[in-house]
Structure 1
């Protein structure tokens, strides 16, 4: 390492601070050289009866060290992936689904995300739970399906719970009125029945739609084997916490905030039984 001082022969000893940040009150100590004695001096220009001249090059030394460190960091950055600024990042969107194709119909299953409302505190509160969208399309030929005639049915989290709890011989049915509570109530009726196949090899999914607004009465059914039903149940079990928004909550937990609790509203867990 280079010594941050330089010595030269002169008729007097002059101390000149090169770093403007150093206070005039700073003092220095020069360690003894071989065959000499140690001496100290002030940062103000001082003349001592010694035949040496000394300049403080401390600022130059540290400037060189800083320059070397900056260059090293710059060189290393070329090997790291370049992450764009937050303003340049676009949220990634993923569209997923699972389809079952049979001779008379096709069934597509797609998850739909929950909706959140921003609060004044900057937090988010779930305003609408997610759901799973079932789309039934009748066959128009061999391995050809008429998606222009598709009928849809939205499964709520509770209805998904009914499906995943079905045994090999279990059955259930769901009734929907998309216009319930509105002037068109009763004009559109949808019923989904899930019943076991006679040989016990799976379940029938049968969707019946009556739409008086367009004079439509249609029924689409598709057999789902035990293996296909197991795949659906596995997907349903996985996606349920996400449809409820619980996964978003779990991802937002920070270790330092666990002990604080949330006392914003007793309805949402602010009043804990073990704190009474």
Structure 2
């Protein structure tokens, strides 16, 4: 006998209808196998009368399996947007550099990325090549440097190539005027000299800055050993294609775009096509 205070379990079998016989409950079900089944349960007691309904979803599962030929895949545990991103996939800024500390001065070498401009076609082109920023700071004590008095010099792509091609006894000199072509032209002059050390153990970097606007004439020099110069050359050799923006072109190459690119180039005369 059913008692309102006792617990109970109801089992729904969709394969074959089997009426449950009880003095306190009655069930009605359809006679077809795959149609959704609805069981109406009525409880009769001295206290209250309740009507509950249970819907079996197995028939929907069988219908989908019959139409598609495969079982429906369960929902993913979490949306794809929440999947962890691989390292480097986020558009974050990264600061790198190489520093050399000597008794008279310190030198830091930092790359600066190129700039891109959008085109009407939706593509991009390099509007300004990247460069290498040299920052010289004078020493004010043992392993102490005054970066508030630093002087900077930007190496262009040709100047980087000139440095990389230096021989053991070669020297070079670069001249910069930040206001070249403007009304203030000539008021700031920067000269960077790179020449070999007398004993042949490296190079001597000397930056001279004349600033007539501040009535200042400053000169900072630092010796660079052969191993340190080799590290600079290796870093320059690696970063130059990125300063030119060629990495963006390489990353944009896709196999599916090759046909479209070949069609666009079909009207262009190439050297090997003549």
TM-score if structure 1 supplies the norm length?
0.70
| Secondary structure in 2 matching 1:261 | helix
Q: Is the 8 A contact 1:262 1:270 kept in 2?
A: no
- Cα distance, 1:102–1:136 mapped onto 2, change above 3 Å: same
Pick from 54, 73, 76 the counterpart of residue 74 of structure 1.
Answer: 76
Q: What are the within-5 Å matches in structure 2 for residues 34-113 of structure 1?
A: 60-63=61-64, 69-71=72-74, 74=76, 82-83=83-84, 91-113=91-113
Q: Is the 8 A contact 1:263 1:270 kept in 2?
A: no
Comparing 255-264 and 150-159, the one that deviates more? 255-264
- Distance in 1, Cα, partners of 2:122 & 2:246: 18
- Distance in 2, Cα, partners of 1:137 & 1:150: 4
- Cα distance, 1:199–1:62 mapped onto 2, change above 3 Å: farther
1:157 aligns with 157
Shift of 1:275: 3.3
Q: Is the 8 A contact 1:98 1:110 kept in 2?
A: yes
Q: Is the 8 A contact 1:263 1:271 kept in 2?
A: no
- Distance in 1, Cα, partners of 2:62 & 2:33: 15
1:114 aligns with 114
**1:122-179 per-position Cα deviation (integer Å, ceiling 9, x unaligned):** 1101000000000000001110000000000000000000000111111111000000
Q: Is the 8 A contact 1:211 1:217 kept in 2?
A: yes
Q: Gaps (5+ residues) in structure 1?
A: 1-5, 9-13, 20-56
Shift of 1:238: 0.3
- Cα distance, 1:95–1:155 mapped onto 2, change above 3 Å: same
2:217 aligns with 217
Shift of 1:227: 0.2
**1:185-221 per-position Cα deviation (integer Å, ceiling 9, x unaligned):** 0000000000000000000000000000000101100
- Distance in 2, Cα, partners of 1:70 & 1:163: 61
Q: What are the within-5 Å matches in structure 2 for residues 1-276 of structure 1?
A: 60-63=61-64, 69-71=72-74, 74=76, 82-83=83-84, 91-261=91-261, 271-276=269-274
Q: How many residues align?
A: 221
